[in-house]
Structure 1
Amino acid sequence: MELRLDELSCAKVMILVENRVAKENLLAEHGLSFLISYREKNYLFDTGQGLVLINNMKNLGIKVSDINGVILSHGHYDHGNGLQEILALNSELEVFAHPEVFIPKYSDKKVNLVPRGLKVKKEEIQNFKPIRKATEVSAGLWMTGEIPRRYKLEEVSNKFKREVAGQIQQDNFIDEQAVFIETKKGLVVLLACTHAGVINTLEHIKSLIGSQKIHAIIGGMHLINANQKRINETVSYLAQLNFELIVPLHCTGFNALQAMLAKFKDKVKLRQVGEEFIF
């Protein structure tokens, strides 16, 4: 894959849903949603739990009629349950996701299984676009497809389960995907929850783009419960990428954030609902 530098235009990424907020009339929740504005098109990447998305869009001046499509990263409630509210306002929107996002998902609390999957059913989506491999959703805007697992250190916690044909099994998040955008400064990578692992995800993206630079990494990195060894190895890996911006959000965790701040200093930006990045 080669970047078409002569064709690239400004990319804007706005945080619509996140765990933190400090702006008037905007709300926070445990979840994540981005608005990607690029080449005169607008895409939602994830939709949060659905408790605050419509409020935040309204108060940020974003209409559902302005949205060209919705990309879902994986089938967890805090990333996809806002889809129902969006489709209620525009049922014809295209929805891009792995076909297994609809499989019931749970967290194993030892005493019981707590549902963590999506409320929306595949049959309720008029224009569902199943994505299993790296796909250009719109010119210059990519979904990674399924992410190969190469690093044992990034094994998924056994607390995550899914239900297939009535059987509860380990959830290895084969449905999880990231997004990357081509810009003149390099790639802008958007991570949703990164259950597949930061290293696995970025290595997969590198395998798709060859020698092209990763300029920015924004999103949830699911290091909130990671041990220090994994955090240290993740930070060491990131240091080799020579990126210019990293924005840890959502499920990254305080310990990982501190390690990134110590290593990358002012390349780390702390952001919240309503803030945007222009590339």
Structure 2
Amino acid sequence: MRLTVLVDNATLTDRYFLAEPGLSIYIEDGGTQVLFDAGYSDIFVTNARKMGIDLLRVDDVVISHGHLDHTWGLDALIRLHTEAILEGHERVEPTFIAHPDAFLTRSCDGVGEIGCHLSVEELFRHGNVLLTAPPLWLTENLVFLGEIERRFEFEKAPPCGYIYTPDGIRDDTVPDDTALACKTEEGLVVITGCSHSGICSIVEQAREVCDEDRIADVIGGFHLLDAPPEQIEGILDYFAEVRPAALHPCHCTDLAAKIALAGVADVRETGVGLHLEFG
């Protein structure tokens, strides 16, 4: 399995890519190519082109959750495919995979829409759409973890605004927040978006779904920005017990959290341009 960071809040030093408050990761496993999130704008397309990655060959577009910093870039992906059709270029029709709540309207702090611009119906015009709350295996080794069971009291957080459902408006606890996990020779690689559901809960679900306790790496947003001390303490205790081989916290994880995590695990630098390979 190989992965490349296309969008993050920062780039690696002396790498001439673009960054923004968002996340997008390109993954290859066997013959399957996966785009995990699309960031906030079109920069993932620009960065991929500089890296020699052909996004028109992506089989699956996986959405970690419906927030704007992970989904608004989908507009650019659809433009890329539309232009390829008009110009007669070869392309793979992608399958969009997400939790059933990922494309609902959301609001927070007076902002009328912080969710995806595109509806499920609109996405169906540009590819296949597969919405699932249970886990879904994308390849023999790579799995969409589905709705995450919230297992730890210290990770529980207040609602993130409101979500507008067919049954009415409710507090948004981001039930669609999920992740990917890949079985490798070194153990599991867990790839997260924002971890609204709790980074420890995500890792536990990955271990359970994959029937593997070893954690080779966790990369992505850990949702640790000005996190309360009791949350940090619980997460540190958890990772001290799990003993991951490496951590690549990024996106929505602040410096204080990274420094704290470095006390119990091998925390490594992450940014646009990072490329990782696992057996």
Q: Secondary structure at the match of 2:135?
A: strand
SS in 2 for 1:13: strand
Q: Deviation digits for residues 184-232 of structure 1, max 9, x if unmatched?
A: 1111100110000112212222222334412111110101131111111
Distance, in Å, in 2 between the alignment partners of 1:230 and 1:82 is 31
- The whole-number CA distance in structure 2 between the counterparts of 1:159 and 1:132 is 20
Separation of aligned partners in 1, 2:220 and 2:207: 18
CA separation in 2, counterparts of 1:24 and 1:239? 33
| 2:45 equivalent to 1:54 | yes
Q: 2:21 aligns with which of 5, 30, 39?
A: 30
Structure 1 274/97 Cα, relative in aligned 2: closer, same or farther at 3 Å?
same
Name the counterpart of 1:82. Answer: 73
> Structure 1 residues 213, 263: closer, same or farther in 2, change over 3 A?
closer
Taking structure 1 as reference, are residues 176 and 227 closer, same or farther at Cα in structure 2, changes over 3 Å only? Answer: same
Aligned residues of 1:29 and 1:51 also touching (Cα < 8 A):
no
% identical aligned pairs: 29
Aligned residues of 1:23 and 1:273 also touching (Cα < 8 A): no
Of the three residues 114, 117, 125, the one matched with 2:115 is 117
**Structure 2 unaligned runs (5+)?**
83-92
Counterpart CA distance in 1 for 2:225 and 2:139 is 32
- Mapping of residues 1-279 of structure 1, within 5 Å: 11-21=1-11, 22-90=13-81, 92-107=93-108, 109=109, 112-126=110-124, 127-165=128-166, 167-264=168-265, 267-279=266-278
Deviation at 1:26, TM superposition (A): 1.0
Note if contact 2:160-2:174 (Cα within 8 Å) is conserved in structure 1: no
How many Å apart are 1:103 and its aligned residue?
0.9
Give secondary structure in 1 for the equivalent of 2:159: coil
Give 1:114 deviation, angstroms: 4.6
Residues 211 and 42 of structure 1, relative CA distance in 2, 3 Å threshold: closer
User: Structure 2-normalised TM-score?
Assistant: 0.89
* Letter of the structure 2 residue corresponding to residue 162 of structure 1: I
What's the secondary structure of 2:242's corresponding residue?
coil
The alpha carbon displacement at 1:88 in A equals: 2.4
Deviation of the 1:139 alpha carbon: 2.1
Q: Higher mean Cα deviation, 25-34 or 15-24?
A: 15-24
- The Cα RMSD (Å) is 1.7
Asked if the contact 2:15–2:273 (Cα under 8 Å) also holds between the matched residues in 1, the reply is no
Q: 1:116 is paired with a residue of what secondary structure? A: coil
DSSP-derived class of the 1:263 partner? coil
- 1:273 is displaced (CA, Å) by 0.3
Larger displacement relative to structure 2 (174-183 or 113-122):
113-122
Alpha-carbon distance in 2 for matches of 1:24, 1:208 = 36
Runs of 4+ in 1 over 4 A off after TM superposition: none
Which deviates further from its counterpart, 237-246 or 82-91?
Answer: 82-91
